Chains A and B, each alone.
Chain A
Amino acid sequence: AQSVAQPEDQVNVAEGNPLTVKCTYSVSGNPYLFWYVQYPNRGLQFLLKYITGDNLVKGSYGFEAEFNKSQTSFHLKKPSALVSDSALYFCAVRDDSGNTPLVFGKGTRLSVIA
């Protein structure tokens, strides 16, 4: 069975500082990993994904994530946070077996303070 853990319910960071949102996963087979962002009363917007290749993945809005197989982690990062980055972030995983649904972490609320 697949699972995702986001250990932090809330992350607070000052504007201009680097941010990290943590994610660890468990999956049989090769993982397909995703980060999504959700704004209030909206659906999910895709940020980035890791399928294979370079462990450092760059995505939308300046976000990046690093895949670490030994630590089964896929932490989301951004060098310099913006107030507009404040939102709910979800890490998700599925295996490589086909058109399977995503399994989501519980989400981490990011607050960027001016």
Chain B
Amino acid sequence: GAVVSQHPSWVICKSGTSVKIECRSLDFQATTMFWYRQFPKQSLMLMATSNEGSKATYEQGVEKDKFLINHASLTLSTLTVTSAHPEDSSFYICSAPLPTGVKNQPQHFGDGTRLSIL
């Protein structure tokens, strides 16, 4: 069964709206989670690394004020797209690696969130 739950799976909203996406690790604690963005027919691009208890680490070119990340607990990270515009429309996917000490295990991915800004 799924080990990472992502919600919502699909969002359609007006330009200027802020949208929150949740990523939860199920049955394990994730001190680190990763947020990716995927454009149509393209690969996954890492946006940021979410760290429980500290600030997220953003990749170059990703606006931290636009994409707010909060790692509220050991099982929950949220990505908020603030004042979304049509160019923010994309597929957002989170992943959570299993705890340190099991580092050879694959990262598990949520089912993704399709964000469409009108």
User: Which A residues form the contact surface with B (CB < 8 A)?
Assistant: 32, 34, 36, 41-46, 49, 51, 90, 98-99, 101-107
Shortest distance in angstroms between B111's beta carbon and chain A's nearest beta carbon? 4
Shortest distance in angstroms between A97's beta carbon and chain B's nearest beta carbon? 9
Residue of B nearest to A98 (CB): B103
Q: Count of A-B contacts with CB under 8 A?
A: 53
Contact A101 B108 (CB under 8 A): no
Contact B43 A43 (CB under 8 A): no
Contact B34 A107 (CB under 8 A): no
Which of B43, B104, B114 is within 8 Å of A104, CB to CB?
A: B43
**Given A32-B104, A34-B106, A46-B106, CB of A105 within 8 Å of CB of B43:** yes
Judge if B109 is at the interface, Cβ distance under 8 Å: yes
User: Which B residues form the contact surface with A (CB < 8 A)?
Assistant: 4, 6, 9-10, 32, 34, 41-44, 46, 49, 91, 93, 95, 97, 100, 103-104, 106-112, 114
Residue of B nearest to A48 (CB): B106
Residue of A nearest to B110 (CB): A43
Measured between beta carbons, the chain B residues less than 8 angstroms from A32 are: 104
Not counting A43-B111, A44-B93, A49-B106, a sample of 14 additional A-B residue pairs whose C-beta atoms are within 8 angstroms of each other reads: A34-B106, A41-B10, A41-B91, A42-B112, A43-B4, A46-B106, A46-B108, A49-B104, A90-B44, A101-B49, A101-B95, A102-B107, A104-B43, A105-B43
Of listed B10, B43, B49, B112, residue having the most chain A CB within 10 A: B43
CA distance A104 to B103 in the complex (A): 18
Contact B6 A41 (CB under 8 A): no
CA distance A56 to B6 in the complex (A): 33
Contact A43 B6 (CB under 8 A): yes
CA distance A90 to B43 in the complex (A): 8
Chain A to chain B contacts (Cβ below 8 Å), 16 pairs: A34-B106, A41-B10, A41-B112, A43-B4, A44-B44, A44-B109, A46-B106, A49-B104, A99-B32, A99-B97, A101-B34, A101-B46, A101-B95, A102-B34, A105-B43, A107-B41
